[in-house]
């Protein structure tokens, strides 16, 4: 059902007027309410009665008159927060249409702060005190230790409870004895002002030209997206920070989106070096208190710069002038649960609505953005050379068919030699393998059984350091069995294939004197832990880094000389639409970590197929040639970005009903055909069961420029999906699993 389009101007309402309210609840229509004393306007956040409950919503427009006026209920309360701006309402509305997802779920994304209307004026914090507790307990000690480490710090009750793992009564007990002291702080503390006059690095001619281009777009108010392409280490960050500065100087706000939380800390250091203070941060590991502050300050134009994950795009900026999407090609900008949206594409949409510049930054742009640049839809600038004396690393293949590996080993002799020589020069090496855990498969040598997940169509991955088996689909873990779960044979279970942990074991054997560190998302304990370990690498306290894609992106490790890609063929096997593109991007990115300080780096790529076109393209380092070839292949296949894809995924606990709905949808394919959309499927998804739910997929395909959303919606509405079965529509899918 289509919900009324938001107006582009604010409409005021008097007491008693009827207005249409959109709530966060999964009721995908507007509900009429009466305006209370004091009046209101479109965009006001409100609390309204819905059945027996009170729910939060937004005044979307004038009432629709579908209810009897005498029975109409009144809005309970208009919340004391800045109303949603008309441009935000339009953005949510367009994003909902584009992604074929209910508007209320978009509103939920835009209000992801707890207790929106109840932000108190003051908040309580705890600071260090002088008292000694009458009796010391381990719990009390843990709390006091936190303050001992940071005597000037302030903590909320929640922070202390979480960090010291104690109950609130322990904190209270300590406060009663003045061992720690309660203090009040204003809630709405604005973020510190960035020092825009602080001198930055002197940009090179190439960088200046790029920065001037972006600043020109800002100055002229030209709100078209711009691709900032530049080799790793060319100074893209320096360039976009200069553009951010220009935007802030103009009094408007800036948003920088990063694909990984692991990159935030490093970037924040960059910002505070450049502008003297740390900006606002928004991602899932930020405390809910800081999130509320960030949300509120963004709305009041008292947060100049926000650094965040994809969900930061839904913050209520008062006057957003530039959105930077760093590593724009990264697939983690696509949200794969709940509302399926690509934050990069939605950033372009939001920028066009709020008259901002969307700046997409990458060394290896996505084919989508690249094609938009080539066709002139986006503007673009290129930084072809590394900054200063740094040169791009030398890239070499190691042919694993020629150079055999011993069974159970993955580091070839040539790679080992290169690592050895780096270590001798006092430099670092990075061994890259995009696989978490110790081994992807555990097999019984007696009966051949592979240990799988009971809930998913997936094998369990052995995580040796944490001593468990884990399903990478559902996260389920179990103890490592000593006998085969199938035949009961004792001591016959064997780990097959490598993960980063196993690679670390091998590296430890080979280079016993080197200091090793292993990086993967499951081994990091917290944001702080990641940050410390990244710093250890930059400071040269580590000789060999072993990691997944977590270390491949963005980081600046000045001492790193050698990169070893353990299995370049890994990503090419899946055969999905973007297998080649992703492999190219990932290996290019990880190789780009080498030689960033002036000594020439080297990246060795282990492969069984050195003649494979993608491997050859990686080795040649010619990204443009790669993208041209890949673009031709996609064009010929009518695949994105030259054609449009949308997926539909049905899932349910029993296969029978899922298949019945799928058959019915297949019979209604005519609805799509009328809109020049072809439908393929249904077919079992490549991962046919996840979390105990069977999954069946369709793929819809059309020419570019066909508006597919309305037809998809009609097609979806043409069947009644029984409760217990879920249907998701994924426009521009990234994952085909
Ligand atoms: P990219 O984002 O393209 O990988 P960075 O902006 O991180 O590149 O730059 C790479 C390195 O070069 C960083 O250490 C950065 O501080 C340095 N650098 C880049 N441009 C300049 C400049 N104009 N003056 C001084 N240092 C620079
Ligand atoms: Zn599972």
Nearest-CA residue for ligand 1 atom 15 is 235
Q: How far is the CA of 567 from the centre of ligand 1 (A)?
A: 30
**Ligand 1 mutation pick, 201, 235, 597, 623, max ligand atoms within 8 A of CB:** 235
Per-residue pLDDT reduced to its tens digit, 177-235? 999 999 888 777 789 999 999 999 999 999 999 999 999 999 998 888 999 999 988 99
Cβ proximity of 687 and 737 under 8 Å: yes
Residue with the two structure tokens 């697939």: 331
74: Cβ–Cβ under 8 A, 6 or more apart, which residues? 33, 34, 35, 36
First to last CA, the chain: 29
Handedness of CA 160, 166, 171, 172 (dihedral sign): positive
Residue 361: which of 518, 539, 509, 241 has the closest Cα?
Answer: 241
Q: Would you place residue 393 in the very low, low, confident or very high pLDDT band (cuts 50, 70, 90)?
A: confident
The values of phi and psi at residue 286, to 5°, are -80, 140
Query: What tokens appear for 286 in the block?
Result: 């930020």
Query: Poorest-confidence range of 66-75, 497-506, 710-719?
Result: 66-75
Pocket probe mutation, ligand 1, options 199, 202, 238, max atoms within 8 Å of Cβ: 238
Residue 433: strand, helix, or coil: coil
Q: How confident is the model at residue 346 (pLDDT cuts 50, 70, 90)?
A: very high
320 contact partners, CB below 8 Å, separation of at least 6: 252, 253, 254, 255, 350, 351, 354, 356
- pLDDT for 631: 94
Share of the chain above pLDDT 70, in %: 98
- CB-defined site of ligand 1, < 6 Å: 201-204, 207, 230, 232-238, 387, 556
User: Could you tell me the distance, in angstroms and rounded to a whole number, from the CA of residue 685 to the centre of ligand 2?
Assistant: 15
Full strand arrangement of the beta sheet holding 45-50: 31-34, 18-23, 53-62, 45-50, 77-78
If DSSP codes are grouped into helix, strand and coil, which group holds residue 186? Answer: strand
The percent of residues in the chain predicted with pLDDT above 90, rounded, is 68
How much distance in Å is there from the Cα of 653 to the middle of ligand 2?
14
Q: Rounded CA gap, 698 and 420, in Å?
A: 50
Strand spans (E) along 312-460: 320-326, 357-362, 379-383, 394-399, 428-432, 441-444
Is 372's pLDDT higher than 80?
A: yes
CA 689 from chain centre, in angstroms, equals 24
Which pLDDT does position 535 carry in this prediction? 86
Q: For the CA atoms of 212, 215, 216, 219, what is the dihedral angle to 10 degrees?
A: -150
Q: For residue 404, what pLDDT band results from cuts at 50, 70 and 90? A: confident
**pLDDT, tens only, 422-477:** 999 999 999 999 999 999 999 999 999 999 999 999 999 999 888 899 999 888 99
Residue 474: φ, ψ to 5°: -110, -10
- Tell me: pLDDT of 351 over 90: yes
Ligand 2 geometric centre to CA of 263 (Å): 28
Task: Report d(CA 20, CA 30) in Å as an integer.
Answer: 6
Nearest CA to ligand 1 atom 4: 233
Reply yes or no on whether the pLDDT at 120 is more than 70. no
Bridging pattern class, strands 12-13 and 40-41: antiparallel
238 Cα nearest atom in ligand 1: 6
pLDDT digits (tens, 9 = 90+) for 42-71: 999 999 999 899 999 999 999 887 777 778
* Mutation to probe ligand 1, out of 359, 387, 558 (largest number of atoms < 8 A from CB): 387
The closest alpha carbon to 631, from 578, 569, 561, belongs to: 578
* Cis status of the peptide bond prior to 570, with omega within 30 of 0: no
* pLDDT level of residue 264 (50, 70, 90 thresholds): confident
Angstrom distance (rounded) from CA 321 to CA 305: 10
**Tally of CB atoms within 10 A around 209:** 14
**Could you give the C-alpha distances from 419 to 424, 536, 555, in angstroms and in order?**
9, 19, 20
pLDDT at site 525:
64
Hey, which bits of 433-551 come out as E strands? 441-444, 461-463, 468-470, 477-479, 493-496, 516-519, 544-547
Decide: 50 and 83 in contact? Cβ < 8 Å: no
Task: Tell me the CA–centroid distance for residue 78 and ligand 1, in Å.
Answer: 48
pLDDT class for 32, splitting at 50, 70, 90? very high
Say what the pLDDT of residue 40 is: 93
Tell me the CA–centroid distance for residue 686 and ligand 2, in Å: 14
For the chain, helix, strand, coil in percent to 5 are 35, 25, 40
Whole-angstrom Cα distance, residue 558 to residue 594? 8
Give the neighbor-by-neighbor strand order of the sheet with 726-731: 677-690, 693-703, 643-652, 726-731
In angstroms, rounded to a whole number, what is the distance separating the alpha carbons of residues 605 and 415? 9
Strands, E assignment, 659-692? 677-690
How large is the average pLDDT for residues 714-731? 94
Give the lowest-confidence range in 61-75, 220-234, 355-369, 392-406. 61-75
Distance, CA of 417 to chain centre: 37
Distance of CA 167 to the CA centre of its chain: 33
What are the φ and ψ backbone dihedral angles of 707, each rounded to 5 degrees? -80, 105
| Mean per-residue pLDDT of the chain | 91
* pTM for the whole structure: 0.88
What pLDDT, on a 0 to 100 scale, did the predictor assign at position 575? 67
Which region among 47-51, 133-137, 294-298, 596-600 has the lowest average model confidence (pLDDT)?
Answer: 596-600
- State the pLDDT at residue 116: 72
Distance 451 CA to ligand 2 centre (A): 11
What is the rounded distance in angstroms from the CA atom of residue 605 to the CA atom of residue 588? 10
**Coil, strand, or helix at residue 735?**
coil
- Pick the atom of ligand 1 nearest to 554's CA: 4
How many whole angstroms from 190 Cα to the centroid of ligand 2?
44
577 phi/psi in degrees, rounded to 5: -45, -40
pLDDT band at 121 (very low <50, low <70, confident <90, very high): low
Residue with tokens 């004197």: 513
- Measured distance CA(419)–CA(432) in Å, rounded: 13
Contact (Cβ atoms closer than 8 angstroms) between residue 293 and residue 304: no
Atom of ligand 1 nearest to the CA of 326: 2
Secondary structure of 150-177 in HEC code, one letter for each residue:
CCCCCECHHHHHHHHCCCHHHHHHHHHC
Summarize the confidence of residues 24-39 as an average pLDDT.
Answer: 89
Tell whether the model's pLDDT for residue 146 goes beyond 70: yes
Asked whether the beta carbons of 360 and 255 are under 8 A apart, the reply is no
d(CA 401, CA 403) in angstroms, rounded, equals 6
441-444 and 305-308 strand pairing: unpaired
* The pair of three-digit structure tokens given for residue 53, joined into one six-digit string: 């409950």
529-555, pLDDT tens digit by residue? 777 888 899 899 999 999 998 888 778
Using DSSP, state whether 481 is helix, strand or coil: coil
> How far apart (Å, rounded) are the C-alpha atoms in residues 404 and 411?
10
Quick one: which ligand is closest to 476's CA?
2
Pocket test for ligand 1, best of 233, 239, 391, 557 (most atoms within 8 A of CB): 233
User: What are 519's two structure tokens?
Assistant: 């990086």
Instruction: Determine the distance separating the centroid of ligand 1 and the alpha carbon of 205, expressed in angstroms.
Output: 13
Query: Could you identify the residue written with the tokens 């360039």?
Result: 239
What is the arithmetic mean of pLDDT over 495-523?
91
- What is the rounded distance in angstroms from the CA atom of residue 356 to the CA atom of residue 466? 46
Alpha carbons 693 and 684: distance in angstroms, whole number: 12
- Cis peptide leading into residue 41 (ω within 30°): no
Pair of tokens at residue 232: 């790793």
> CB 407: neighbour CB atoms within 10 A?
5
Helix (H, G, I), strand (E, B) or coil at 305: strand
Question: How many Cα atoms sit within 13 Å of 432 on the Cβ side?
Answer: 30
Q: Which ligand is nearest to the CA of 691?
A: 2
């Amino acid at each position: 059902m289509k919900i009324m389009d938001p107006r582009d101007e604010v409409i005021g309402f008097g007491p008693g007027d009827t207005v249409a309210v959109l709530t966060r609840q999964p009721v995908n229509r507007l509900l009429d309410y009466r305006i209370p004393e004091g009046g209101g306007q479109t965009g006001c956040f409100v609390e309204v009665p819905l059945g027996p409950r009170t729910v939060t919503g937004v005044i979307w427009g004038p009432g629709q008159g579908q209810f009897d006026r005498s029975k109409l209920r009144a809005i309970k309360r208009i919340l004391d927060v800045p109303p949603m701006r008309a441009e935000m309402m339009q953005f949510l509305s367009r994003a909902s249409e584009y992604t074929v997802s209910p508007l209320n779920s978009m509103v939920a994304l835009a209000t992801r702060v707890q207790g929106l209307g109840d932000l108190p004026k003051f908040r309580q914090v705890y600071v260090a005190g002088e008292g000694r507790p009458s009796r010391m307990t381990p719990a009390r000690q843990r709390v006091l230790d936190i303050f001992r480490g940071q005597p000037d710090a302030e903590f909320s009750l929640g922070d202390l409870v979480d960090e010291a793992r104690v109950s609130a009564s322990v904190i209270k007990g300590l406060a009663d004895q003045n061992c720690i002291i309660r203090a009040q702080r204003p809630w709405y503390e604005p973020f510190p002002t960035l020092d825009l006059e602080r001198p930055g690095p002197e940009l090179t001619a190439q960088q200046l030209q790029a920065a001037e281009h972006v600043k020109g777009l800002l100055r002229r108010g030209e709100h078209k997206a711009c691709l900032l392409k530049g080799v790793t280490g060319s100074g893209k960050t320096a360039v976009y920070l200069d553009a951010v500065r220009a935007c802030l100087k103009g009094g408007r706000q800036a948003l920088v989106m990063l694909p990984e939380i692991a990159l935030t800390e490093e970037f924040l250091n960059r910002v505070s070096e450049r502008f003297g203070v740390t900006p606002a941060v928004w991602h899932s590991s930020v405390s809910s208190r800081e999130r509320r502050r960030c949300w509120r300050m963004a709305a009041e134009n008292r947060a100049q710069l926000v650094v965040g994950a994809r969900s930061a795009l839904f913050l209520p900026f008062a006057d957003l002038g530039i959105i930077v999407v760093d590593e724009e090609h990264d697939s983690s900008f696509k949200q794969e649960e709940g509302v399926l949206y690509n934050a990069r594409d939605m950033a372009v949409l939001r920028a066009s609505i709020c008259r901002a510049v969307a700046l997409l930054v990458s060394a290896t742009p996505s084919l989508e953005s690249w094609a938009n640049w080539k066709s002139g839809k986006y503007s673009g600038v290129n930084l072809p050379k590394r900054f200063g004396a740094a040169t791009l690393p030398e890239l070499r293949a190691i042919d694993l068919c020629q150079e055999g590996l011993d069974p159970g080993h993955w580091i070839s002799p040539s790679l080992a030699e290169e690592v050895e020589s780096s270590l001798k020069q006092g430099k670092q090496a990075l061994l890259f393998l995009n696989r978490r855990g110790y081994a992807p498969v555990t097999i019984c040598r007696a009966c051949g059984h592979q240990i799988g997940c009971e809930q998913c169509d997936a094998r369990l991955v052995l995580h040796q350091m944490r001593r468990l088996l884990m399903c990478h689909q559902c996260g389920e873990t179990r103890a490592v069995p000593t006998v085969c779960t199938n035949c009961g044979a004792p001591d016959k279970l064997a780990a097959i294939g490598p993960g980063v942990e196993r690679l670390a074991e091998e590296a430890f054997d080979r280079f016993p004197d080197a200091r090793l560190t292993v990086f993967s998302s499951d081994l990091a304990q917290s944001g702080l832990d990641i940050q410390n370990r990244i710093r250890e690498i930059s400071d040269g306290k580590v000789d060999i880094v072993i990691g997944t894609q977590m270390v491949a992106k963005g980081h600046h490790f000045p001492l790193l000389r050698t990169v070893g890609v353990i299995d370049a063929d890994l990503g090419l096997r899946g055969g999905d639409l973007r297998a080649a593109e992703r492999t190219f991007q990932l290996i290019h990115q990880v190789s780009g970590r080498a030689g960033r300080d002036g000594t020439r780096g080297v990246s060795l790529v282990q492969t069984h197929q050195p003649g494979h076109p993608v491997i050859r393209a990686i080795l040649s380092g010619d990204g443009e040639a790669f993208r041209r070839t890949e673009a031709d292949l996609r064009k010929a296949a009518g695949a994105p970005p030259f054609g449009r894809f949308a997926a539909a995924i049905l899932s349910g606990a029993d296969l029978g009903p899922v298949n019945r709905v799928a058959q019915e949808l297949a019979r209604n394919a005519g609805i799509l055909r009328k809109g020049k959309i072809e439908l393929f499927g249904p077919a079992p998804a490549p991962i046919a069961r996840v979390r105990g739910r069977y999954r069946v997929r369709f793929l819809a395909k059309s020419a570019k420029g066909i508006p597919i959303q309305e037809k998809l919606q009609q097609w979806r509405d043409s069947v009644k999906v029984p409760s217990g079965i879920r249907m998701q529509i994924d426009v521009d899918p990234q994952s085909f699993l």
